[in-house]
């Protein structure tokens, strides 16, 4: 009943948020000798925060309309290059662009929409032809479309790489580092002509036995039955995916926020002060972050439980026992796809060394086809977003991709 209770609470609170939004609009027009302006500013700030405390289950817009290309600016058009009930392969097509390296950017399926990689996409677009796995919210996918587990995830990546064709590149952020490595290994085992020219794994849990974090310890110390009984719910009847078993996105968000609760409370305190003082630019930066952060999507129960058990508890990829539809996955078969791994020095979700472990698994690659980079001063999100990503990590990734052509 956990999902039903959440939805009932959300439905009850929504009128309060709606009234807060109306109040903000009305207070902007209040001008009277009987009111101290600072009072209306404080009230407006408080109502504005109340109006933003709800979660959204709809994907935000990417908002990438143009991109610099050489000495000019060109338009960017979002086009579906392929689609299944579970995911759209979204192509950020640039008007009048010359041929560029085709990159499959794999977004995590971990409770947030693929728009979390907006900065990643925007940074890569001037130099690459970017395609993104735009995962659908599973609560909107009818049950007639079947299950979606780790095998189906891997299957999607193989399908999308085949769509891009030979010579493409794959960049996997966080959780999909595991299925990306598995997909490339299977393609190598099969001699698939669409094997990518390069594979970049960023802050991904290839081997969580290395320097385990709190996230890893939480997953490892409880039996899989505990996760199934306590964290899995059913999509309410009102949605297209009614009766699907899911790991609700609001639970994932709650878990992430609890890890840094003081930081989030301070952010809302700062937001209030910025709004009161009329510091619109600083307030907008915080508001934009939480608009994205509070947009959550549900995970298929089978995918979530299989990931916890196979990757975080049994370490099947690291131990060489991970299978795909009964076939053993063999990273040692990879010989044509260059490997680049990236980690963040301060990553408290995927610690240093966990992604580097991919190098030990890909024994078929010659040393000159492997690179690794640890970025100092960044945490998990800093690996693929922010100033250090743009100025220090991305130039290495760009050069690696171009050198692998």
Question: Would you say 150 and 310 are in contact if contact means Cβ atoms under 8 Å apart?
Answer: yes
Question: Would you say 167 and 197 are in contact if contact means Cβ atoms under 8 Å apart?
Answer: yes
Main-chain dihedrals φ then ψ at residue 121, nearest 5 degrees: -60, -50
Query: What confidence score (pLDDT) does residue 280 get?
Result: 80
Q: What long-range pairs does 398-403 form, CB within 8 A, spacing at least 24?
A: 398/124, 398/127, 398/128, 400/198, 400/200, 400/338, 400/340, 400/371, 401/101, 401/103, 401/128, 401/169, 401/197, 401/198, 401/200, 402/101, 402/127, 403/338
Q: Are strands 128-135 and 323-324 parallel, antiparallel or unpaired?
A: unpaired
283-298 residues labelled b (16+ CB within 10 A) or e (exposed): beebbeebeebbbbbb
Rounded Cα gap, residues 367 and 174, in angstroms? 24
Classified as helix, coil or strand, 81 is: strand
Query: What confidence score (pLDDT) does residue 35 get?
Result: 54
The residue written with tokens 């934009």 in the block is: 288
In 3D, which of 174, 194, 88, 354 has the Cα closest to residue 184?
194
Angle at 162 between CA 91 and CA 192, to 5 degrees: 155
Query: What confidence score (pLDDT) does residue 259 get?
Result: 67
Helix axes 37-51 and 2-27, enclosed angle (nearest 10): 150
Terminus-to-terminus CA distance in the chain, angstroms?
Answer: 52
CATH architecture, range 66-219+299-403: 3-Layer(aba) Sandwich (3.40)
C-alpha pair distances (Å), 75 with each of 104, 278, 379, 390: 20, 34, 32, 21
328-366 residues labelled b (16+ CB within 10 A) or e (exposed): ebbbebbebbbbbbbbbeebebbbbebbbbbbebbebbe
Question: Would you say 333 and 301 are in contact if contact means Cβ atoms under 8 Å apart?
Answer: no
Question: Would you say 190 and 324 are in contact if contact means Cβ atoms under 8 Å apart?
Answer: no
Segments in 278-393 forming alpha helices (H):
280-293, 301-307, 316-319, 358-361, 387-388
Rounded Cα gap, residues 155 and 192, in angstroms? 13
The HSE-up count of residue 258 (CA atoms within 13 Å, CB side) is 9
pLDDT in tens, the chain (405 residues): 777 776 766 767 777 666 766 666 666 666 554 555 566 677 766 666 666 666 778 899 999 999 999 889 999 999 999 999 999 999 999 988 899 999 999 999 988 899 999 999 999 999 999 999 999 999 999 999 999 999 999 999 999 999 999 999 999 999 999 999 999 999 999 999 999 999 999 999 999 999 999 889 989 999 999 999 999 999 988 899 999 999 998 887 777 677 677 887 788 788 778 777 788 888 888 777 777 878 889 999 999 999 999 999 999 999 999 999 999 999 999 999 999 999 999 999 999 999 999 999 999 999 999 999 999 999 999 999 999 999 999 999 999 999 999
Q: What are 125's two structure tokens? A: 């677009």
Rounded Cα gap, residues 288 and 292, in angstroms? 6
Strand partners for 299: 247
Domain ranges for the chain: 2-54+249-293, 66-219+299-403
Classified as helix, coil or strand, 235 is: coil
The pTM (predicted TM-score) of the whole model is: 0.88
Question: Would you say 110 and 173 are in contact if contact means Cβ atoms under 8 Å apart?
Answer: no
Q: Give 63's contacts (C-beta < 8 A, 6+ positions apart).
A: 118
Query: What confidence score (pLDDT) does residue 75 get?
Result: 95
Rounded Cα gap, residues 89 and 393, in angstroms? 25
Query: What confidence score (pLDDT) does residue 352 get?
Result: 97
């Amino acid at each position: 009943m956990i999902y039903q209770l959440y939805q009932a609470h959300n439905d009850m609170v929504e009128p309060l948020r709606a009234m807060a939004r109306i109040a903000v609009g009305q207070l902007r027009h209040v001008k009277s000798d009987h009111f101290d302006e600072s009072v209306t500013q404080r009230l407006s700030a408080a109502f504005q925060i109340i109006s933003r405390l709800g979660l959204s289950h709809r994907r935000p817009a990417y908002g990438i309309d143009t991109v610099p290309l050489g000495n000019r600016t060109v338009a960017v058009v979002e086009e579906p290059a392929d689609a299944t009930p579970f995911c759209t392969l979204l192509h950020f097509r640039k008007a009048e662009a010359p041929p560029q390296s085709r990159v499959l950017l794999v977004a995590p399926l971990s409770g947030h929409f693929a728009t979390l990689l907006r900065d990643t996409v925007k940074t890569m677009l001037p130099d690459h032809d970017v395609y993104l796995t735009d995962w659908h919210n599973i609560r909107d996918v009818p049950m007639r479309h079947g299950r979606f587990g780790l095998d189906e995830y891997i299957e999607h990546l193989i399908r999308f790489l085949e769509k891009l064709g030979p010579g493409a590149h794959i960049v996997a952020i966080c959780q999909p580092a595991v299925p990306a490595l598995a997909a490339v290994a299977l393609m190598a085992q099969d001699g698939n002509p669409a094997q990518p020219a390069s594979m970049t794994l960023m802050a991904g849990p290839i081997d969580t036995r290395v320097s385990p974090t709190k996230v890893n310890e939480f997953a490892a110390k409880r039996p899989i039955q505990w996760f199934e009984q306590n964290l899995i719910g059913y999509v309410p009847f009102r949605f297209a995916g009614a009766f699907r078993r899911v790991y609700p996105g609001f639970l994932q968000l709650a878990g992430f926020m609890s890890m840094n609760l003081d930081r989030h409370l301070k952010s809302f305190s700062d937001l209030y002060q910025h709004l009161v003082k009329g510091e619109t630019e600083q307030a907008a930066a915080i508001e934009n972050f939480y608009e994205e952060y509070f947009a959550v999507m549900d995970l298929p129960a089978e995918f979530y439980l299989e990931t916890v058990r196979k990757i975080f508890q049994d370490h099947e990829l690291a131990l060489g026992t991970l299978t795909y539809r009964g076939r053993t996955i063999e990273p040692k078969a990879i010989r044509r796809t260059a490997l680049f791994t990236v980690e963040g020095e301060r990553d408290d979700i995927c610690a240093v060394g966990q992604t580097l472990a991919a190098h030990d698994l890909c024994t078929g690659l010659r040393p000159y086809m492997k690179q690794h980079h640890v970025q100092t001063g960044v945490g998990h999100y800093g690996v693929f977003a922010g100033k250090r990503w743009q100025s220090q990590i991305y130039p290495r990734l760009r050069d690696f991709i171009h050198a692998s052509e």
